[in-house]
Amino acid sequence: MRTFKLQVQTTVDGYMAGPNGEMDWMTFPWTDDIKAYVTALTEPVDCIVLGRRLAEGFIPAWAAGPEGEEQKAIDKMNDTPKVVISSSLTESPWENATVAGGDLTETINRLKARPGGDMIAYGGGTLVSSLIAEGLLDELHLFVNPTAIGTGMPVFPKGDAYQRLDLVTAQTFDCGVTALHFEPKRS
């Protein structure tokens, strides 16, 4: 079975975006140490899972070759097949991306059962909360930025999605970001 990872930027107070989707709180530029960490994290990945709203910005941004990004990272993001989770799309408007709808748990379990390398989810907010609530992730990689914003889109769902996590590693980087790698405690 493939390993399904989450990589998400978060504030110290647990938000992945501001109340209107703001992401201006993220720490950039990244230093070489965090770039090396992300490269190691994504090296075994051969499937990127995105929510539709994030895909609408993420896929075209990487296709345009974002300024300041290394070509190796741009190629990795563009060449890795993507699965866009959507209840509104029936086919993909993007190259190298397919659309999956229906029951999220069935869809993810079907993807995890396929042969291949690791899978990684980057978001968006609705998808991340659902993946966490349904217990579908094998690893959570939270990139905690040294900023608190007070309100916004939470990484963890509200309500009854109680989940115990084991801290596998915590690593600080020269740019001020701390990566926390958790794995869900399985009963």
pLDDT in tens, 149-181: 999 999 998 876 678 999 999 999 999 999 999
Residue 149 belongs to a domain: yes
Inter-axis angle of helices 104-113 and 125-133, to 10 degrees?
80
Average pLDDT of the chain?
94
- 112 in a structural domain: no
In a domain, 20, yes or no: no
- Establish if 68 belongs to a structural domain: yes
Q: How many domains does the chain have?
A: 1
The predicted-structure confidence for 82-106, as pLDDT tens digits, reads as follows: 999 999 998 999 999 999 999 999 9
Residue 60 forms part of a structural domain: yes
- In a domain? residue 33: yes
Written as six digits, the tokens of 43 are 């090296």
Query: Is residue 145 assigned to a domain?
Result: yes
Q: How far apart are the first and last CA of the chain?
A: 18
Q: Cα angle at 56 between 52 and 61, to 5 degrees?
A: 140
Predicted structure pTM score:
0.94
Report whether 179 contacts 36 (CB < 8 A): no
- Predicted confidence (pLDDT) at residue 124 exceeds the cutoff of 90: no
Q: 24: which 2 tokens?
A: 């201006």
Range of the domain at 68: 27-43+55-80+136-153
Residues 6-19 as b or e (16 or more Cβ within 10 Å = b)? bbbbbbeeebbbbe
